[in-house]
Structures are given as C-alpha cells and as structure tokens.
Structure 1
Amino acid sequence: MQLGFVHESQYCTGCKACQIACKDKQNNEVGQNFRRVTTYEGGGYTQAGNSFTNNVFAYSLSISCNHCAEPKCVKNCPSGAMRKDPQTGIVSVNQDICIGCGYCAWSCPYGAPQMNVKSGVMGKCDFCRDLLAKNEEPACVAACPLRLLHYGEIEELRSKYSGVGTCKVMPDPNITKPSLVLVPHKDSL
C-alpha cells in the first residue's frame, strides 16, 4: 500500500487553512511549514482596437511531503533517520537519530524536510500517523473548508480523480515518483 494526497487546485482559494492546521498540529517553529500553500499568478491584458482582452490567471497549490515511491531524502540520509514505512509508504524522520546534516532537504525537489533550528534536527510531514491510528483524517485534510484536499491509497485516488501528478511549477515527477494527484487549474498545465 502507498498512501498519498489529492489536491483539487482548480477550486482552491489559497485560504491556507490546511497549512495552519498542519503547523498547529505539529507545533512547528516560525518558518517551518510541513504543508505550504503557494499562489501562482500571471498573464496580462492585450489591447484589440478600443477594447482589452485578458489572459490573467491565479491558482494555488497545497503541497507537503509527497511520500514518494522513490524518495531521494531516504536514499541520501547518511544516518538512516529518513525512512519509508513498507506498510503505508509514509516517509518519516526519526528525530532521535537525525544528525541535522540537511542532506535530505538538499535531496528533496519539493522542499519537504525542514530544519528545526531549536532542536537542530529535521522535521517533515508524517501524514499525521497518530491521527490515522485513531481512524481520523490528517489535520490538513480535516481543515480544508472546501474539502479539496483528500488522502488515501494512491492507486485508488488516481482511479477516482482524473488528475495529474505534476504541473508546470513542480519538479519532474520521474525524479521521485510522488504519491500525489493534482486536479489542476487549467493555467497550471
């Protein structure tokens, strides 16, 4: 089994409720966000005679660790602190053996592992394993007011949602094979 996330970015308003819920649940320091909502905007206006047409766009993406099928953070961790659970596919960091070298952060194209400056070790999304053990949703999923963030077994999610694994602002998915489905905004492709 491989757990993963779905983000329906085509409807996301960028409210950051998922980001805040994650930050609160993990009690992260300022600047340490395991889930990040980023808004992308662009386009402009073109004059055609006496009128203007536009191709203005804005869309938001909510991204955390993608619990990749081939996580570079695990492969490049010299202490073995970064691990992929063979039962769930969840990639986590054992902070008791993390040496704070940052190799995992350098290896991850998504910026998922992040340093906790106070403790000197890395942290990242752990899929709210404690909540899953109680049959509860991850904090980010539960917090989404528009219900646009989902989780589950990645192959089931890929069958259920007609989405893609990446968009033009994200790294090549062939690098790590992320467990992520995006239902993209039309301007993100």
Structure 2
Amino acid sequence: MGQLGFFVDMTSCIACKTCQIACKDKNNLEVGAIFRRVYTFEGGKFPNPWVYHLSMACNHCEDPKCVANCPTGAMVKRDDGLVVLNQDACIGCRYCVWSCPYGAPQYIEAEGRVGKCDGCADLVDQGLNPVCVDSCPMRAIEFGDIDELRKKHGGTDWVKGMPDPAITRPAITIKPKAEAIA
C-alpha cells in the first residue's frame, strides 16, 4: 500500500460534526482541542446564497512541514504515509503548529505539548478505519490509499479557504460543491 489519505465528499456532508465528536472522544480531548474540524463556508447574495461544509483533520501530507521543522524528531511520517507524533519526544516548542498550513497540530496547554490527528494509526494497524470514517452518518469520508481514492472519486486537493496544495502535497481528495471551486 502507498500513501494513505482521506476522501471527503462535500456534496454529502451536512455539518453534523459526528466525525469531530468521535475523534474528540477517541482521543480523550479536553475542551478546546479538536483534531478533526468541520468548517462551514457561506456566501453569495440573495437570491443565490450558498453554503458548504468541509471536514478536515491532518492531511498526512506527502511533504509534511511539521515533520521537516520538528527539532526533536517527535513528528514522524510512517511508511504508510501517516504523520504521527511521538508524545515522549515532544518538547512543546510549537514549531510544528507554526509550520502546518492546515492547523493540524495543536498545542495542548494542560499537557505542555502538541497533539494531532494520527489517522487513528492504532486502528489502521488493526485493519480498521479511523473513527471519523465509520462515525459519519452520511458516509462523506473514506480512508485508504490516496491514489486509489483519487482514481475512484476524482476530486481535488483544493477548495476555497484552503492553502495552496503545492506547499505540502496533502493526501486528500475532495468532491467539491460547485461554489467551493468557482
């Protein structure tokens, strides 16, 4: 298997935030820390308003700046492409937080260290999906080999509101709503 990544179907996401809650629960996150976020974008003018939702977490980038800029080697890119954090090696310097254009690593004040989505590496190692995937009632998130997901769904790695994908080459593909790319 190659680089693992996520497919997100914006045309199906209803912003229920079940994926966000499942992630928060699995990672036992306190108030303020959220590894998967559901963003809502709105615009247009009457009589043509628009709204779309985007569920995002760590994009397990092919060129992760958080890994490149971590002075202790706490951020690691696994052979399967998942970007994981070795909590014992993290010194809480926040270089990864500042380096990630997607805001995935987050400084957790109570711990004095960083935390982030690891793609539910423990579940993936057992052949299971990340909790965000299985919790989505609309089945708007899939996980797997990013090349296979791109072949299956097509899509894009950029929609309005996201950084330029050339910065990190995120391992995501998104089925956008028309307003998100227009």
Alignment partner, residue 88 of structure 1: 80
Equivalent position SS for 2:160: coil
How much does 1:22 deviate?
0.2
Partners of 1:155 and 1:170 lie apart in 2 by 21
Give a deviation string over 1:121-169, Cα, whole Å, max 9, x none: 1110111111112222110001000101000000001100020011111
The alignment of Structure 1 onto Structure 2 pairs a total of residues equal to 180
What's the offset of the Cα at 1:84? 0.4
Any residues of structure 2 matched to 1:53-64 within 5 Å, and which?
54-64=47-57
Please name the residue that 2:94 is paired with. 102
Matched residue, 1:49: none
RMSD: 0.7
* Seq. identity, %: 53
**1:7 counterpart residue number:** 8
8 Å CA contact 1:109, 1:171 repeated in 2: yes
Q: CA deviation at 1:105?
A: 0.5
**Structure 2: gaps of 5 or more residues:** none
C-alpha distance in 2 between matches for 1:182 and 1:82 = 25
Residue 163 in 1 paired to residue 155 in 2? yes
Tell me how far apart the structure 1 counterparts of residues 125 and 40 of structure 2 sit (CA, whole Å). Answer: 32
Partner of 1:114 in structure 2? 106
Letter in 2 for 1:94: N
In the superposition, the TM-score normalised over structure 1's length comes to 0.93
Normalized against structure 2, the TM-score is what? 0.97
State the match for 2:60 in structure 1.
67
Which runs of structure 2 are paired with 1:139-178 in the superposition (5 Å)?
139-178=131-170
Q: Which runs of 4+ in 1 moved over 4 A?
A: none
2:63 corresponds to which letter in structure 1? E
- How far residue 104 of structure 1 moved from its aligned partner, in angstroms, is 0.2
- Where structure 1 has 5 or more consecutive residues not aligned to the other structure, the ranges are 46-53
Question: Do structure 1's residue 29 and structure 2's residue 30 form an aligned pair?
Answer: yes
For the residue of structure 2 that corresponds to 1:37, the secondary structure is strand
Residues 60-112 of structure 1 deviation map (CA, whole Å, 9 limit, x = unaligned): 00000000000000011111101101x21110111101010100010000000
Quote how far apart the aligned CAs of 1:40 are.
0.6
Query: Partner letter of residue 183 of structure 1?
Result: K
Q: Using the alignment, how far apart are the partners of 1:174 and 1:130 within structure 2? A: 29
State which structure, 1 or 2, has the greater radius of gyration over its C-alpha atoms. 1
Secondary structure in 2 matching 1:7:
strand
